[in-house]
Structure 1
Amino acid sequence: MSPGTEQENAPGRTLELRLGPVAHGGHMVARHEGRVVFVRHGLPGELVRAELTDAAPEATFWRADVVDVLEPSTHRRDHVWDLADSLKAHRAGRPPVGGAEFGHIALDEQRRLKAAVVSEQLERLAGLELDVEVEPVALREDSGDDAGGLAWRTRCSFSVTAEGRLAMHAHRSETLIPVGPMPLATEEINRLRLWELDLDGVERLEVAAPACGSAPLVVFTLADGVAPSRLTDVLARLSPEVSASAVGPDAGRAPLTVRGRGSVSERVLGRHYTVTGEGFWQIHRRAPETLVAAALEALDGALAPGGQVADLYAGAGLFTAPLADAVGPAGHVLSVEGAPGTSRDARRTFKRRPEVAVVQGRVERVLRRHGGAGAFDAVVLDPPRAGAGRETVHQLVEAAPRAIAYVACDPASFARDLGWFRKAGWQLEGLRAFDLYPMTHHVETVARLTPPRA
């Protein structure tokens, strides 16, 4: 590559690109002089000017953000959040906030693009051709309204600028951008008006506002040398029903409750869960009940009173509770979670359920002790974004439950794991995909996997 070309293609320079199909990760695929460029904030078929954000001369691919649209797609619309709008951000001389990279795309087209990604990953990594439909999810059970893909996040994480202002990061960047109301957050979170607080001494904060209406919780991570007493003035600006915890060198490694309770109460389909600030919970207000219903549907015929079942990567026990109800007191549920704090949440929830064994540890290690042929009649497998992995898949193949409900938040890792199941003779008998993260490229799937028929 000539020196002039290197300068032309350095990060910060712009290229005119015709965008191709959507790729896993929310990018559109383009090519420049034979090199692949993954472009965010575009749409297939558009002609755009894109600013390079990652363009090392020796790299096999580059990354870029759309900064001007020369020929727009018919599916392009005004972005739902100005701070995340790449076009407006470029004109303001800053990068866009991350977390709403599909906000410029009409909702129906967002779902079509997500379906295309799931189908492409299944074909490429699992050797399976399947037409996928991504289902919308209403914000409330008694309504078909999805609020235009907004107001669904019951949990948000924020950073804090050096000046003490609420902020979020730009994508793949340490750059902090002050924020105000967040369109994807629920009304309960925006009502706290966290952007009005003086957060000097706070490094970041997480907020949870349960969909069931129980009291919100804010967890503040304090900077070195800052004591929890620093939060006195901050808490005075928040409604008295808001609970608060602090994390930091002077507050301890585990969250220290400084007001109210250090947890929130969640209710899903009549079941109660306790989730602390360090615990995991689904972030879409309807995700818990949607995924529970889909997982139980995927395990149809494999659950019965007295059965032996497993909930792997169980989190706070979202699926553990309905599994325990299905097998009853004569059955047994092995609930496995790697994160200590989240596992403690599950222990609190199920301390009076003797049929539930909550085990904290790596799933593959726990399965070495508690797995084996015939160990389970049914399994819920809900791994993190990295997927279950080869060893866990092989252990489940050996256990040979009658059905596995695989709940996946990443199409690529799911397709890879599915490929290993298929090599062992397992079948994909059903797949549903849900739009639980509107305005982002993320999609959740629930699959029914069954072992080879004798």
Structure 2
Amino acid sequence: MSDGDWSGREFDVTVGDVAHGGHCVSRVEGRVVFVRHALPGERVRVRVTEDRGGSFCRGDAIAVLEASSDRVTPPCPVAGPGLCGGCDWQHAAPVAQRALKARVVAEQLERLAGVTWPVEVEALTDEPLRWRSRVRFVTGPDGRPGLRAHRSHDVIALEDCPITLEGAAGAGLARRARPGTEFEVAEDARGTVHLAEIRRGGRPKQVSGGIAVEHAADRTWRVAAHGFWQVHPAAASTLAAVVAEWAAAPAGGRVWDLYAGAGLFASVLAEQVGRDGSVLAIESGRRAVRDGQSNLSDLPQVEWHCGTVERIVSTVEAAADVVVLDPPRKGAGRGVVDAIAGASPARVVYVACDPAALARDVATLQGHGYRMTALRAFDAFPMTHHVECVALLECRESGAGGGSGGAARAE
């Protein structure tokens, strides 16, 4: 291994396979170099941007010597080395982006859970731009808003953000404020733009709007504009449909909806179990719970509990027929997964925004006698490395399960 700090060093490499996090892997003098702005198989010149010692460092492809056939011109002028860190794959054709994400999901499942699975990442729409409905801009030293560079506090001022809906991008980027001010912008299903200003060290100040109106799962929702809601306009209904199909909750049954947000999945589960059943909805955000209670006031079978999932599931004694969970990026973790298994559901429907966290929790569920029987992955964040997955896990002893819906399933 070479000694010393490699920061600023340049070398030519042949790029290896994609890795989780929006980069590819190369090896130089016995060290791993995580390379951004490259594609597998390319020959590029890399400049090391970060070296904290150890077995790896990070770098940018500053010149492409032999390009992949999947390479395209980025639609955003600041999507490049040393510039905006909001996107990872603008230099790849949309089909290639989805293929890269599919390889990452498959690799994480195999490496962390021992599951070999043929993964296909599905597009939510034909348009890879103008999908982001919620974004947070920050002002730089000149008071102009933009986004931060990758792994940096530096602000790259923007004239536009091509992945963000036009109304939201225009409203946020037109603002001027003291350096470090943040603008949370959301554009709802009606096209109404909601904007909140957060000065450094201060509390959010609503400038316009505040209550977003969204449409999903055959319902109209009124939710806090800056609370949790799916960022891609097509994501909420798509995910709710998959959850409903795979949950297949029995009439009169008992279902858990963990990390319930404003109750998107609880709404479809409640329709399945009916008035004689129950849906235990657990959410730690007080505003989200209030929104859920208001939006689902016509579904008294939904029992809301405000608090951390870790704390509340440890106090629940009743069994569950089905458990649905949509945890944060870090995943549910062993404690929650153990509690889920303790409720002995026939099916667990897991919605995940991070494939590594999904794989770790799948591995834990496998230790409790569950196996993954279906998986769908969606490109809910085009141009970035993020991907949304839904996995169905079934208890080996139950033999129960929802419909396949054309998804890949274990044979």
Same fold (TM over 0.5): yes
- 1:55 CA displacement: 1.2
SS in 2 for 1:345: helix
1:311 aligned to which of 232, 257, 270: 257
Aligned 8 A contact 2:142 2:179 in 1: no
Partner of 1:69: 64
2:110 aligned to which of 103, 123, 134: 123
Q: Are 1:219 and 2:215 an aligned pair?
A: no
Q: Are 1:137 and 2:124 an aligned pair?
A: yes
Q: Are 1:375 and 2:319 an aligned pair?
A: yes
Identity of aligned residues (%): 42
- What number of residue pairs does the alignment pair up? 398
Aligned 8 A contact 1:278 1:341 in 2: no
Cα gap change, 1:47 to 1:257, in 2 (>3 Å): closer
- 1:23 CA displacement: 0.7
Aligned 8 A contact 1:101 1:439 in 2: yes
2:246 aligned to which of 298, 314, 336: 298
Q: Which amino acid aligns with 1:291?
A: L
Partner of 1:40: 36
- 1:167 CA displacement: 1.3
Alignment of 1:4-403 (within 5 A): 6=4, 9=6, 11-56=7-52, 58-86=53-81, 95-138=82-125, 146-147=126-127, 149-190=128-169, 192-200=170-178, 203-210=181-188, 212-213=189-190, 215-223=192-200, 248=202, 253=203, 255=204, 257=206, 259=208, 261-300=209-248, 303-370=249-316, 372=317, 375-403=319-347
User: What are the superposed Cα offsets for residues 87-128 of structure 1, whole Å, 9 maximum, x if unpaired?
Assistant: xxxxxxxx2101211000011111111111111111111111
- 1:432 CA displacement: 0.6
- 1:257 CA displacement: 4.5
Range 268-277 or range 427-436, more displaced: 268-277
Cα gap change, 1:340 to 1:12, in 2 (>3 Å): farther
In 2, the alpha carbon distance for the partners of 1:414 and 1:442 equals 13
Q: Which amino acid aligns with 2:284?
A: G
User: What are the superposed Cα offsets for residues 241-276 of structure 1, whole Å, 9 maximum, x if unpaired?
Assistant: xxxxxxx3xxxx4x55455x4221111132122221
Q: Are 1:419 and 2:397 an aligned pair?
A: no
SS in 1 for 2:268: helix
Structure 2: segments with no counterpart, 5+ residues: 399-411
Q: Are 1:445 and 2:404 an aligned pair?
A: no
Structure 1: segments with no counterpart, 5+ residues: 87-94, 139-145, 225-247
SS in 2 for 1:432: strand
- 1:277 CA displacement: 3.8
Aligned 8 A contact 1:133 1:432 in 2: yes
User: What are the superposed Cα offsets for residues 393-413 of structure 1, whole Å, 9 maximum, x if unpaired?
Assistant: 111111111211100111111
- 1:200 CA displacement: 3.5
- 1:313 CA displacement: 0.8
Partner of 2:406: none
User: What are the superposed Cα offsets for residues 325-372 of structure 1, whole Å, 9 maximum, x if unpaired?
Assistant: 2222222111111233333322332345322122121112110112x4
Cα gap change, 1:201 to 1:82, in 2 (>3 Å): closer
- 1:214 CA displacement: 5.0
In 1, the alpha carbon distance for the partners of 2:289 and 2:143 equals 33
- 1:440 CA displacement: 0.9
Aligned 8 A contact 1:219 1:277 in 2: no
- 1:164 CA displacement: 1.9
User: What are the superposed Cα offsets for residues 282-335 of structure 1, whole Å, 9 maximum, x if unpaired?
Assistant: 1011000111111112213xx122221111111121111111222222221111
Aligned 8 A contact 2:140 2:179 in 1: no
Aligned 8 A contact 2:260 2:266 in 1: yes
Cα gap change, 1:97 to 1:35, in 2 (>3 Å): same
Aligned 8 A contact 1:12 1:52 in 2: yes
SS in 1 for 2:237: helix
Q: Given the two structures, how large is their TM-score scaled by the length of structure 1?
A: 0.84
Q: Given the two structures, how large is their TM-score scaled by the length of structure 2?
A: 0.92
Cα gap change, 1:352 to 1:298, in 2 (>3 Å): closer
In 1, the alpha carbon distance for the partners of 2:274 and 2:8 equals 60
Q: Which amino acid aligns with 1:304?
A: P
